[in-house]
Amino acid sequence: MFLRISLPSLKSANPLSQNNKNTSIGHFSCKKMNLSLRLLSSELTCPTSEAMQYKNVNFLLSKPSARVSCFINKDVCNRDGRNVRVSCQLMHDHLEESYERNKRLQMSLPKQDFVRTLLIDNYDSYTYNIYQELSIINGVPPVVIQNDDWTWEELCYYLYKENAFDNIVISPGPGSPACPEDIGICLQILLKCRDIPVLGVCLGHQALGYVHGAQIVHASEPVHGRLSEVEHNGCQLFHGIPSGRNSGFKVVRYHSLVIDSESLPEVLIPIAWTSTGTLPFIGSKVSDKYNSREIQIDQSIFVDPVLPEVGDRSSNIIDYGKTRNAKVLMGVKHSTRPHYGVQFHPESVATCHGSQIFKNFREITDDYWLRFRSSYKKEKRANSDAHMQVSSASRLYRDFNRSISSDNNAADRPRKENHGDKDLAHNNTDIKCMDMFNMVNAHHASTGFKCLKLKWRKFSHLAGQVGGAKSIFCQLFGHEAENTFWLDSSSTEMGRARFSFMGGKGGSLWKQLKFRLSDQSDGCSNGGGYLSLEDSEGSAKTIFLEGGFLDYLNKELQSYRYDKDEYEGLPFDFHGGYVGYIGYDLKVECGVTSNRHKSKTPDACFFFADNLVAIDHKNDDVYLLAIHEESSSMTQWLDGTEEKLLSLTGSVMIDLERQYFRPSTFSSRNAGFTAEKSREHYIRDVKKCLNYIRDGESYELCLTTQIRKPIEALNYLGIYLHLRERNPAPYAAWLNFSKEDLCICCSSPERFLQLDRNDMLEAKPIKGTVARGATEEEDEQLKLKLQLSEKDQAENLMIVDLLRNDLGRVCDPGSVHVPHLMDIQSYATVHTMVSTIRGKKRSDVSAVDCVKAAFPGGSMTGAPKLRSMELLDSLESCSRGIYSGCIGFFSYNQTFDLNIVIRTVVIHEGEASIGAGGAIVALSNPEDEYEEMILKTKAPVNTVIDFE
C-alpha cells in the first residue's frame, strides 16, 4: 500500500534514502526504483488493479466504480534492451453520474457576470499566472487548491452539493500523470466529472490523454521556455486565433513528455499541433531567418555514453532522431464531454493569444451551462462567491465536515500541514485579514505598540565634495568596521540604482539579531529555531521561535506605528529598520519541507538600524536619519554626525587607499581556492540535471557549488573596497557581524525583490551571462550573441514566468506585468540578460508575506521551484548558506529592497567562501555550464587573492 503524503509534507532529511523505497514520500514515491523508467520501463509501478487499495488514501473513489488495468506495448528501448511502452487504460464499470447531475434539463438562462473556477495546482510555479489571467477574464478570482488538498468526497461536495464552481482548470506541474503523487486528484476529476467544463494545461493536458488510454512518452527533445508556431482546427477553444506557420500564433512550451498522437483513442479529438520547430523569442523578432529555421540541437546533450554510469535515472535512452521533425500534439478535446487540454502554456508572458484561450474557455463554460442546467437551478449568489474566496482550504474542510459528517468518517480523511506561504496559495480575503488582525492584536497586547518618530537632515550636492560614498563610509564607519553595514549602489549607470545606505552601532533602539534553524527544522510550522538578540547596552538573550524567523520579523514590522508626514520629501524608502541577510536555508519557512544540509553561518543576521546615512547618487545629496521612540528625543547622533560629515575632504581618500588596499607583490594563485566539487563531478551533476529535465521533473535547475580558502586575518573592509572597484554592482553590500566573526563582501548585480511606499513590487532576475570582449568589436559581437541565444532566452523566460507567478500570489489581479523583457546589461566583466517584473501588492498581505511568496529567488532555484529545490538538495553536497539568499533592508514603514546574493565573498571564522552556479536547461552543454560557473567566480576570487 502507498501512503498518501504530499510533496510539501516531505519529512525525510534525505528523500533519496533507501529507507523510503517502500513508501510514498513526496514525489520520490514511485520514482525510487528508477525515475527515468517510471513511464517507459516494464519495471514501472503503475496504478494497477492489484495496487488499487486507495480507500483511505483517496487516489480513486472508495466505491468500486472503476478498475484500472495496465498493458505494455512494444515501442521504445529500456535498459535491458527490450522495447516497451507503458500506458494506463482506465476502464469504467457502471459509471454513474455523481449526485443529481444525471437529471439535467435543457434550459435557457441568461449568462452570468462572472465564472467561478476551481484551479488545481500541481505544485507548479506557473499556476498563479493562470490565476491572474482568470481573475480578470472570469470577473472573480478562482479558488486555488493543491492537488492533494481535498479528498474526492470533499471535491464532490463543493462541485455537486454546493454547486460552488462553474469549471475546473488543471495546472501544469512536474512529473507525469502516471505517478499518483504528481497528479493527485486530477485523474479522478477527468474520469468522474464528465459534466463540468475542464481545461488541462501541460500536465493537465497529458492527464486528459492518460485517463482515456493514450500513451505518455518522451518527446523527441525536451522543450522548455521555447516557442513554436501552432496550427489548430478552429474549434471553440481557438476561436478568433490565427493558425499555422507565419500566422503570429506562437506559444511557449515547457515539457519533455507528450501524448503519443498515434495512441490517441477515438474519444479524444486532436485540435492543435505544432506547425514549426522551436523558435527563439527575440531572434524571431529581429531576424526573419529564424522564422522558418529548425533549431538543430546537439544530440550528445541528451544521449551520452557516460550517462549510465551517473545513476540508474539515465538508463533509458531514446532515439531522438526518428521523431525530431515530427509535429507534436498541442491540444485535444473530448468528443462528448466539455474537457479540453493544451500542451503549451497560454499563461506565459511570451505566448501570443494566450488570454484569448482563457476567454474562449469562459465562453465554452457559459454556453455549456446555458444548454445544461440542473433541475434544481444552480444559484450564483454574491454571498456564495464571497464564501468561496477564502484564504485556505481549512474553512472549506470545516464546512464540509459539518455538512457530511454523518456520511463519512472524518478520521479517515488525511490533512495537510500549512508550510511557509501556504496561506498565500489561496485567495486571501476576510478570513485571512481577520487572522492577521487577531495575530497583530495579540502581539500588541503583550508587547505594546512601538510608536517611532523620524528626524532627518538633508545636505544638497555634498557627496561629491567629500569624496563620494566610499569616503563617507570609510571615514564615518570604517576605522572601527565592527557591526557596520553598507548597502552600496556602486554601479549607478543607466539608472540601475540610485541610493546607498550605511551605518554602524547606533542609539537606544539599535540591536543585533542572529537566527539559527533548529536541527529539527523541516518547516516553519513545527521546526523553528533560536534567535539571539543583543541590544545597544550589550545585554543579550536567546529565545526559541516556534514559528520561525520570518514570522517573528513580520510581527515586529506590524507592531510599528509612525507618521507618514515625517518622511514626506525623502526620495527613498529606507528610513530605518532591519538591515542584514536571509540565508538560503530559510526556504523551509517558505514552503520547502526540509534542508538536507546545515549552514555553518547563521541562517539570518540583521541589525535594527536606528541611525543611518543615505546618499542620493543622482542628485549627489547626503541625508542623515535617526528614529527614536515617541517618548524620547534624539538629536545627539544627528548633531555629531553632521559635524563629522561637513569636516570630510576628498583628499583623505589618498591615505585610505594606502590603508585598505595592499595588493600582493607575489603570485599566490598556486595557493588558490579549493572547489567543493571537481570539474568532473560538476559536469556529472549537470548531466543528472539534464536527465531530471528530460523526465519532466523540472524545466530548469540552478545547480551551484562552493569554492573555499583559509584566509589570514586581513583588513576585510579592504577586500570589499577592492571588490567594488573591480566589479561595481547596483546591489552591492558590506555587512560586518563582529560577534559572529562574519564579513560579507557582495557585488551583486541582481535585485531579488523590492516593495516601495506605493505598494509596487519589483523583481529583476538575471539569466544569461557572457564574458566581455577584449576589443570593442568583439564585445559587441558577444553582446549580440547573448541577445540572440535561444538557450539564454529560454533560461530567462522560464524565470520571468516563475517570478510573475510568485508576484501573482500577492498582487492585485491584472497588475503583474513585464515592462522590460530580456534586456542586455553590461558590467565590468560580463554582459547579462535582465528582465523586470512588477505588480501592485494586495492590501491584505504584508511585506514579509511578499518575501515568503517569492523566496528563494527563482533565478537561483529553477522551475517548478519546490520540486527543483528538492532535486538540487539531493545533488549539492553542502549548504549554500548566505549564497543564493538575499541582502537588504526591511524599513519600519513596511517597504523593503533585497538583492540576490551572488558574486559574493563570505568570510567566516577564518575561511573565505564563494558560491557560483548556473541554470541548467534542456539546451545546456555540460562543459559550457562548468565554464560559465567558473566565469562568475572570477571577480571575487581575484579580489581575495590580491589581498593575501
Q: Which residues pair with 5 in a beta bridge?
A: 25
**Which residues are within 8 A (CB) of 18 and not within 5 positions of it... i.e. 6 or more apart?**
none
Pairing of strands 896-899, 751-755: antiparallel
Beta strands in 8-124 (DSSP E): 66-77, 83-92, 105-106, 117-121
Nearest to 124 by CA among 169, 168, 173, 179: 173
Main-chain dihedrals φ then ψ at residue 926, nearest 5 degrees: -55, -45
Q: How far apart are CA 932 and CA 919, in angstroms?
A: 10
From residue 897, alpha-carbon distances to 470, 831, 848 in Å are 21, 23, 11
Phi-psi region of 907 (alpha: psi -120 to 50; beta: other; left: phi over 0): beta
Give 239-300 as a DSSP string: TT---STTSS-EEEEEEEEEE-GGG--TTEEEEEEEEEEEE-TTHHHH-GGGTTPPPP--GG
Active site includes 345? yes
From residue 832, alpha-carbon distances to 481, 606, 786 in Å are 33, 30, 8
Q: CB 375: neighbour CB atoms within 10 A?
A: 10
Q: 3-state DSSP call for residue 814?
A: coil
Beta strands in 653-699 (DSSP E): 674-675
The rounded Cα 125 to chain-centroid distance in angstroms is: 6
Count the helix, strand and coil residues of the chain and give each as a percent rounded to the nearest 5: 35, 25, 40
Task: Fill in the DSSP letter of residue 787.
Answer: H
Give 333-361 as a DSSP string: EESSSSEEEESSBTTSTT-TTHHHHHHHH
CB 610 within 8 A of CB 576: yes
CB 517 within 8 A of CB 529: yes
The rounded Cα 444 to chain-centroid distance in angstroms is: 33
CB 750 within 8 A of CB 902: yes
Task: Fill in the DSSP letter of residue 412.
Answer: G
Q: How far apart are CA 871 and CA 38, in angstroms?
A: 17
Number of H helices, E strands in the chain: 22, 38
Q: Which of 221, 347, 697, 700 is catalytic?
A: 347
Q: How far apart are CA 644 and CA 546, in angstroms?
A: 44
CB 890 within 8 A of CB 724: no
Q: Which of 193, 202, 745, 746 is catalytic?
A: 202
Active site includes 347? yes
Q: Which residues pair with 514 in a beta bridge?
A: 532, 605
* Angle (deg, nearest 10), helices 716-726 and 926-946: 130
Radius of gyration over alpha carbons of the chain, in Å? 28
Residues in the chain: 948
Q: Which of 255, 345, 353, 426 is catalytic?
A: 345
Q: How far apart are CA 496 and CA 750, in angstroms?
A: 10
Pairing of strands 577-582, 886-891: antiparallel
Pairing of strands 143-146, 117-121: parallel
What's the N-to-C CA distance of the chain in angstroms? 60
| Site of grid cell 503583474 | 816
Which residues participate in catalysis according to the annotation?
202, 345, 347
